[in-house]
Amino acid sequence: MPQPISKIDATNIVICLYRPINVDECFPALADFVEEIVDWDFPDAEVARAVAIKVLPGTRPCFIVQYRDSMKSSRKFGDTDRRHRNYRNIITKVDSGISTIRASGPLGAIIVRFRPEAAAHFLAERLDHFADCKIELDDVFDAHEISLLEERVSEAPSSADRAAAVAQFLCAHARPREPDPVICQAAARLRRNPSLRVRRLAANLDVSERHLLRKFHTIFGTSPKQFARCARLEKVLAARRNGLGWADIAYGCGFADQAHMISDFHAVLGAPPERALLPPSAERCCITDETNAGPISYDYFMW
């Protein structure tokens, strides 16, 4: 499970505000659909404004319910830097570029990350509709129900109660849909082994390559190749977090060489690995319009 990375000495103060929820143990009914639930809980406005959260691309769509001030974020790909408007309750999927989140006041958010192959049980639209954009929950679900959900989460007395409110909502809205099991198995295999060639994957699943490409795009809104790139990027980031050098990572993650790995980073992130993994404070990222927003004291990465 991804963990926050802090570049300051007072790590224990910050990490206690990032609460991962054990889905298998706490919400077994969601275990086949949800990979993780976390609670970002920064009730102190000054501390929240000193936090920068860097979000990197991945294969999993996110369901986000906020219970304090609205977030602000920006997305950077190469030389293009785009600011998002304030948002509260959304579904999003980061497919490319680097997003940075900054709080303008007290920050609180329950973040659910779906297993990509199971997201269709909750989302009527294809996943490409949520790629690199933020879709309000009341555009996907009933607006009155989303209002009640936000109220329940905001009034919940603890992190566990907040997560339970969101989990109950998801359980109530799981659709009895069964996406193509072969294509979902293809996604699961690509996440385990992103180096699989599409032709070989199709042969292993006993389907034609054309069928695999067409159906994969219908369900996931992207090609198997692009999906595998994001899955391999997740593996690279996890290996780097564990302290491995770039050459070892390139070899271990199935790249032909380090240059090939850098090329994939550029294709997905618009930046080389060293730049992509710079902490927000080193990049002097500040996406608020306030000139006196204050320095970044706490750095986090999410993927």
The first and second tokens of residue 168, run together, are 């109950």
Q: In this model, does residue 99 exceed pLDDT 70?
A: yes
Average pLDDT for 177-187? 83
Mean pLDDT of 238-251: 84
Say which range, 47-51, 107-111, 150-154, has the weakest mean pLDDT. Answer: 47-51
Domain ranges of the chain: 11-177+278-302, 181-270
Question: In 3D, which of 284, 273, 272, 232 has the Cα closest to residue 256?
Answer: 232
Are the C-beta atoms of residues 51 and 293 closer than 8 Å to each other? no
Tokens 């069964």 sit on residue: 178
pLDDT at 270 over 80: yes
Fold adopted by 181-270: Arc Repressor Mutant, subunit A (1.10.10)
Element (H, E) at 98: strand 98-103
* pLDDT for residue 288: 44
Q: Which of 44, 46, 43, 52 is nearest to 4 (CA)?
A: 52
Q: How confident is the model at residue 63 (pLDDT cuts 50, 70, 90)?
A: very high
Looking at residue 172, its pLDDT comes to 92
pLDDT band at 242 (very low <50, low <70, confident <90, very high): confident
Query: In a 3-state reduction of DSSP, which class is residue 20?
Result: strand
Tell me what percent of the residues of the chain surpass a pLDDT of 70: 85
Instruction: Supply 261's token pair.
Output: 């790995």
Confidence of residue 255 (pLDDT cuts 50, 70, 90): confident
| b/e map 108-145, b = 16+ CB within 10 Å | bbbbbbbbbbbbbbbbeebbbebbbebbebbebbeeee
Residue 32: CB atoms within 10 Å: 13
Question: What confidence score (pLDDT) does residue 10 get?
Answer: 35
What is the residue-averaged pLDDT of the chain?
83
Q: What is the pLDDT of residue 218?
A: 80
Higher pLDDT, 294 or 240: 240
Give the pLDDT mean for 199-218: 92
Order of all β-strands in the sheet with 80-87: 80-87, 71-77, 98-103, 51-55, 298-302
| Residues 6-37: tens digit of each pLDDT | 333 333 334 346 678 889 899 999 998 999 99
SS3 (DSSP) at 255: coil
DSSP code at position 222: S
Superfamily of 11-177+278-302 according to CATH? Jelly Rolls (2.60.120.10)
- Spatial separation of the C-alpha atoms in residues 190 and 282, rounded to whole Å: 33
Between 254 and 66, the higher pLDDT residue: 66
Distance (Å, rounded) from C-alpha 4 to C-alpha 302?
A: 7
pTM to 2 decimal places: 0.84
Q: Which of 145, 163, 198 is nearest to 38 (CA)?
A: 163
80, β-bridge pairs: 77
Question: Would you report the helix, strand and coil content of the chain in percent, each value rounded to 5?
Answer: 45, 20, 35
**Confidence band for 224, pLDDT divided at 50, 70 and 90:** very high
pLDDT at 289: 47
User: 239: pLDDT confidence band, cut at 50, 70 and 90?
Assistant: confident
Is the pLDDT at 287 greater than 50? The verdict is no
